[in-house]
Structure 1
């Protein structure tokens, strides 16, 4: 099953709604609407009570919906059966998409061998031996997550080498801590697409500080268009992936060739800390899945499409550079 989040108008302004996505039928089903119809018909609930029950069961937050328990898929199937799903459906081309998840914590791994080698080569850095010892990942800002068909903010301090990153996003469905690899996939609800935009010029200056990438990445993270539940994938290392810029294919491959498995990455992330429902863990960039590896870069107005088999297409448009921002003045050497 596929789950997404959309924005709908209400008397109080736009509200987030959880939907089941049926691309083959060209529609989405508003779960809260279907649940309210189901409650009235099945339990004879009044209008106001039906709405309260439906919104509690299917909130607009993916994180909250997953935190309600492990029965999200079964509950969704129940309320969209028959006429309730039909009456609560909307044309897929008419909806406004929100990020597929609203992650409490957003993390991004580094697992694809091809990208590890290509990134280090292009950035003029040696692959550290420590990458063979532990899975690498960063914590990114969840406050700048955007969804399908969004415009990507472009802060003017990123003056060169704007980049996309073709990644999968593993959406956590259960709360856990220090899980082991053999049980880690039980904590993954589904998979989405994740575009970890990067300003490579600024990243080149940030990395020697030794505290990771910050302003070179945390201006925008695209997640979507929706989440496909894990049971729909036969092989997590055989998902076809592609990235296009303005309709031209810039990278194509699959989800194989990893240094660390999905289970090992999730398990390592959970060590000594808590993973929460709705959290997103990026797979890291597929080999050849960044403009950096091609010696290319994005420009304002470019349309970037990430595609993965059995998930869909995550499309975003690069915005215009936001000028007039403050930037620190370089200091004199103190050593």
Structure 2
């Protein structure tokens, strides 16, 4: 309950108490004055009539007390209102201070949030760059592993080269004999060769040789046995006149007389052979190398005194093309 309510209750109680005391005083005065009133009743009515208005009993007037109480109440109410107003001003001041503090902290919170966003963006950029460099490092590491693997495979792989070649001629065939060496550290499997032979009749001068006629075979294939590490084998490709050469000759006029080509096959003074040797290493990778061979088999502008023989040695026409990886087809 507020002070105003307490003051009103106290004032109301005081008024009730004053009225009760006044009523008791009136009752006592009436009891005490009743005998003397009866004795004086006989004294003339005129006297009582003349002084009737002046001899009325004295009564207590509570108005001044009430006014003082009301004045005190108004003063208390005014003080209470002043106190309440001061409190309200203090509350308003505290609210204003709190609002100003909140505004200040809101500004710094905005600054902190903006700084957090900037730092987050910088961290994100740093993370992206880190991921980029990490990926590059992983790629480099992968390349390093692949290079190391290739080096290891290169050290272990099989390498086949043709170290020598010869020929053997018959009336109906030409045989190319190859000597193949494996200089690698692992076996060479699925060794095979494919190639063709060209028989030429070369004339003219030594300074200006000329190919008068020639006949070529179709491509022939052969499979060889595996070659052990640091080992070698000797095997051959056979080119038959009735099969490898005649099937490769096409005449524009439709004639079937092949005597001219057969004479070139039998009496030609130069053999040219192009052979591709293929194999698989221990990693099942298919590799191959090319061998280009030439042989002068009878009198030639470069060798006028060369005698015809059934067997002879090929010379390497050019340096070997080296080892290369081939398709599995």
| Greater relative contact order, per chain length (Cα 8 Å cut-off, separation 6+) | 1
| TM-score, scaled relative to structure 1 | 0.22
Of Structure 1 and Structure 2, the greater strand share is in 1
| TM-score, scaled relative to structure 2 | 0.22
CA radius of gyration, larger in = 2
Of Structure 1 and Structure 2, the greater helix share is in 2
